[in-house]
Amino acid sequence: MEIIFNGKPRELQQSINIQEFLDQLQLDCLQIVVEHNRNIISRQRLTDTILSHGDTLEVIHFVGGG
């Protein structure tokens, strides 16, 4: 199946949840906001949200300073 990750198509071999997907990319979850189908998703829900064909996933990195 295919999802759109940060604006680009990406093939997934198997059905996985968002946390597993982020783990594969070795992303530091503390400095990112994750959007699933344009909605912000809290980290508690990353493991129980399974990615489906056609989903969009955006990862926004935040940097310090303010």
Partner 1 sequence: MQVKVNEQNYTVDTNESVGSVRDRIKADADLLIVNGFPAQAETLLNNGDQVVLIRRGEIPGADELDALLTARHTPGVHEVVKQSTIGIAGVGGLGSAIAIALARTGIGHLIIADFDVVEPSNLNRQQYFIDQIGLPKVYALRDTLARINPHVRVTACHLRLTPANIDEVFGHALILAEAFDLAEQKVMLIETFAARFPDRPIVTGSGMAGYGPANTVQSQQVASNLYICGDGSTAAAPGTGLMAPRVGVAAHHQANAILRLLLGENPVSEKE
* Binding interface with partner 1 (CB under 8 A): 30-33, 35, 38-40, 42-43, 58, 60-66
Kindly tell me which of 24 and 56 has the beta carbon lying closer to partner 1: 56
Q: Least separation, in Å, of the C-beta of 60 and partner 1?
A: 5
Residue 20 backbone phi and psi in degrees, to 5: -65, -40
Kindly tell me which of 4 and 43 has the beta carbon lying closer to partner 1: 43
Q: Least separation, in Å, of the C-beta of 41 and partner 1?
A: 8
C-alpha–C-alpha distance, residues 19 and 63, integer Å: 21
Question: At 3, is the secondary structure helix, strand, or coil?
Answer: strand
Q: Do 3 and 53 meet the contact criterion of CB atoms below 8 Å apart?
A: yes
